[in-house]
Structure 1
């Protein structure tokens, strides 16, 4: 008997790939800002004569400010569209970067951080949402991981900028480092103009014909484009027989097309499935940052100084290696997300982070107890920091954004993802603004032992609450989380029944 031919793997959709890359490049601004501040703050402290506490606040406050942008971006993108929201993000960050670079004093520098933070929040939320909405199911993990790729690329650029401009006079070097951040948004805003609007946003606006055309270009096959359009229309509550002609616009209530009433569905009266989805998204973003990744990136020179590297050139040079480790590992992750799946990568990533943090903490504890710095301890501290950021980038880093952008129902996606981004920025701000005070209180080794404990709790959370989403369409997510909730409820009832029987 003849065997059925193996299914043909669809070719990579290069139009969807190009759109995702351009959208994701807006995330460069976050990575650059976090990394460049790690080196710039050493020179800012000397030039402006400010305290460690002021440096701590300056470095971490942008994450708190970005919460405003993240939350606002959800409603903004439902109102003016995903593409226009990306242009707005670039314009805001451009203004903030120039303000910081030209700041004559600490107060103006803080104002620039506020403006830049709003732009970062917008970019952080909108890039993965847009990528998820244009990507076909076969490559959604690959394409939606690009925002994290470009965050890491921005981190690398920030470290290189620190190293390249550190030789300038101290009143000039940090200003050049921060001002360079205004360059990418100009080119990114221009590139975004050539991108199509998200097909799912077009459907919500009633522009069915335009959405159909975008889906034809971003789907693997014409049949998939038809199926995606039908599923989006069903999710948006639009009749299946609604006209698909380009010159016909369906009548959609303003309340629905502008995302009104979503906060009530998410926070005040969520269904059990929506509550589970929201809990999964917020928990994932919480653990991504609470495990200390931004402290390691932002304070790498401080960590290397504690490990035994004395000169600023050595410290900044070692941070460039951190940037290369993060960037190379995230590139590996992009190719594995749609082959291996989200859960295996996520659990492996969290496990690697726990092991790296425990080793790094133990090495730093050994360094603290020695009168003379041992070469082996310095090398092992550097290696374990590289393995920590590498473990983060190969799983937890990209998957937090992939997952949060794909699990919410269409009507809740933008504003649900904005809540996830806000949680991410809140925890990043809390971690980065407390790191210097934390390590002075419990030692730098104790800080990393604490982060290892949080990462361990994160592993348990991921194992229990996050189902596999690889290969599922965006419109299937409510059904997937509903099944997971039913399975868990059944397991609890069985266990309860067994306990009663034993009694």
Structure 2
């Protein structure tokens, strides 16, 4: 049976619609290509002049990290505070001590909460956006601080740490995701690495507060540090009405008008935001064509599996290298033989040098990229940990203050190299390797994996260092040093160089399964990427 021919007028209309669609698509691709070339041509200072508000709002959203860092750090310091030991601990030899099980429970409250909180954060971030999720978390934190402030028993304090950790885990997902989505390529590395500076700053403030209150002989020695946490929400509430939403999230929701308005808020008047929006739309279209997906399950599809592995690996290595010893730094220095005041001062110096290291990492990121800094830093960290362990084996260790000071100084040096390398670079990498459509889910999953590893370390460390348990002291360096060398082997073969790459280029390179060591020199033709998208 013959099929009736389409009416001539219908053919003309269909042809015209197709031609218009092709024309619109080509125009969008041309604008996206111009925006990509413009971003890649910018240096950091040029980008900062053109996107000053993007830098400012990225820093603003990272303020939540201060709370995520301050809380567990202050609890770790309280284990070395006399009033806290007396009110919550038991008598041991000439003083008081918090038992290892309760130390484990209190330090584990935050990471356990972060496992659940990080995984949960991916949902509201996708449903309601980065801004509304951030606002809800700040309100929740403000209320939960009351539990800690009024706690007069370890069980109530544990409840406060656990519930607070649920919210703190969300900040760790929100801040790097937002920073990576509002900043151009030239600024992305430094502003995602800024998350680590907020961690170090929060820890440094916690150590300073603990050092200032540790001589108080009543409950204000520990109530004051908890009360200080109400300062952070006050600063954040001021800026909330003016904060722009992520243009990438708005574009994925089809709100192109809202995305364009957000881009105008995030850049100077010299930027052609329509071209930037075209680049966002084209990258999203490419990932849709690649079936990158937007759920947790999609993180483990073949197209994303390698990216998820790298994100989880670079973040978990932070814990495996020994960073959880930072929370016990003051306590560790006390057990190593330093007097109370000296131990607290050493703890402050420990983090102060880490702060300097994080700022220094920004200059290295601009010059050397990601892979070389991460791998070199990890090798140095492993070596330092082994040396700390060797020093602990010296005969008559406890009566040789020079060795104790040498160990303590090496721990400070270790923290410097951590914060100049794998500390900040991990945040840069897990933002850059994740596909934009599953970025919040990938970061959330990586955070949950890191927090899970952290739970294991939180359980183990008190039993390894407490004098009434294994009393390993500096021999803990053998443990973390050995693990770090194993992690270095993985990092060498799996971590690619992502410096200077747009998200579209990274999508193409991972889709083509470019070998790790070829990432740095691989050339992606922008026209090829368009053809690839059409072929998918």
Partners of 2:488 and 2:330 lie apart in 1 by: 28
Contact kept in structure 2, 1:364 and 1:444, CA below 8 Å: yes
Question: For 2:464, which of 438, 451, 459 is the aligned residue?
Answer: 438
Q: Which residue of 2 aligns with 1:26?
A: 64
Partners of 1:26 and 1:487 lie apart in 2 by: 33
**1:2-13 map, 5 Å:** 9=43, 10-12=46-48, 13=51
How far did 1:214 drift? 2.7
How far did 1:65 drift? 1.1
Contact kept in structure 2, 1:92 and 1:118, CA below 8 Å: no
How far did 1:168 drift? 1.4
Q: Which residue of 2 aligns with 1:477?
A: 506
Provide, for residues 392-431 of structure 1, a one-character-per-residue CA deviation record: whole Å limited to 9, x for no partner: 1011111111111222112111111100111121122221
Q: Which residue of 1 aligns with 2:296?
A: 263
**1:70-81 map, 5 Å:** 70-81=118-129
**Residues 41, 375 of structure 1: CA spacing in aligned structure 2 closer, same or farther, 3 A cutoff?**
closer
SS in 2 for 1:42: coil
Q: Which residue of 1 aligns with 2:3?
A: none
Matched, 1:172 2:220: yes
Partners of 2:237 and 2:293 lie apart in 1 by: 27
Q: Which residue of 1 aligns with 2:368?
A: 340
Contact kept in structure 2, 1:94 and 1:116, CA below 8 Å: no
Partners of 2:374 and 2:151 lie apart in 1 by: 41
Contact kept in structure 2, 1:91 and 1:119, CA below 8 Å: no
User: Unpaired segments of 5 or more residues in structure 2?
Assistant: 1-40, 90-97, 519-536
Q: Which residue of 1 aligns with 2:439?
A: 413
Q: Which residue of 1 aligns with 2:306?
A: 276
Provide, for residues 128-152 of structure 1, a one-character-per-residue CA deviation record: whole Å limited to 9, x for no partner: 0000000101111011111111111
Matched, 1:297 2:326: yes
**1:393-404 map, 5 Å:** 393-404=419-430
How far did 1:324 drift? 0.3
Task: Give the RMSD, CA atoms, in angstroms.
Answer: 2.5
**Residues 469, 372 of structure 1: CA spacing in aligned structure 2 closer, same or farther, 3 A cutoff?**
closer
Q: Which residue of 2 aligns with 1:212?
A: 260
Contact kept in structure 1, 2:431 and 2:443, CA below 8 Å: yes
Provide, for residues 462-500 of structure 1, a one-character-per-residue CA deviation record: whole Å limited to 9, x for no partner: 2111111111112322222234446789xxxxxxxxxxx
User: Unpaired segments of 5 or more residues in structure 1?
Assistant: 1-6, 240-251, 490-503
Question: For 1:88, which of 127, 136, 140 is the aligned residue?
Answer: 136
Partners of 1:94 and 1:184 lie apart in 2 by: 9
Question: For 2:410, which of 373, 376, 384 is the aligned residue?
Answer: 384
Matched, 1:118 2:166: yes
Question: For 1:199, which of 238, 242, 247 is the aligned residue?
Answer: 247
Provide, for residues 145-179 of structure 1, a one-character-per-residue CA deviation record: whole Å limited to 9, x for no partner: 11111111001100000001112124221121122
**Residues 327, 261 of structure 1: CA spacing in aligned structure 2 closer, same or farther, 3 A cutoff?**
closer
Partners of 2:488 and 2:162 lie apart in 1 by: 33
Provide, for residues 3-47 of structure 1, a one-character-per-residue CA deviation record: whole Å limited to 9, x for no partner: xxxx77434231111011111111001221132112212343321
SS in 2 for 1:237: helix
Normalising by structure 1, we get a TM-score of 0.85
**1:281-360 map, 5 Å:** 281-294=311-324, 296-309=325-338, 311-360=339-388
Normalising by structure 2, we get a TM-score of 0.80
How far did 1:261 drift? 5.8
Q: Which residue of 1 aligns with 2:482?
A: 453
Partners of 1:76 and 1:401 lie apart in 2 by: 21
How far did 1:220 drift? 8.0
Contact kept in structure 2, 1:410 and 1:475, CA below 8 Å: no
**1:231-250 map, 5 Å:** 231-237=279-285
Larger radius of gyration: 2
SS in 2 for 1:196: coil
Provide, for residues 197-220 of structure 1, a one-character-per-residue CA deviation record: whole Å limited to 9, x for no partner: 101011112111221233345458
Q: Which residue of 2 aligns with 1:500?
A: none
**1:215-226 map, 5 Å:** 215-218=263-266, 225-226=273-274
Provide, for residues 244-270 of structure 1, a one-character-per-residue CA deviation record: whole Å limited to 9, x for no partner: xxxxxxxx9xxx9xx996122123xx0
Structure 1 runs of 4+ with >6 Å offset = none
Partners of 2:442 and 2:267 lie apart in 1 by: 25
Contact kept in structure 1, 2:248 and 2:259, CA below 8 Å: yes
Partners of 2:184 and 2:503 lie apart in 1 by: 9
Q: Which residue of 2 aligns with 1:466?
A: 495
Q: Which residue of 2 aligns with 1:40?
A: 78
Contact kept in structure 2, 1:216 and 1:222, CA below 8 Å: no
Provide, for residues 174-199 of structure 1, a one-character-per-residue CA deviation record: whole Å limited to 9, x for no partner: 12112212221232233233221101
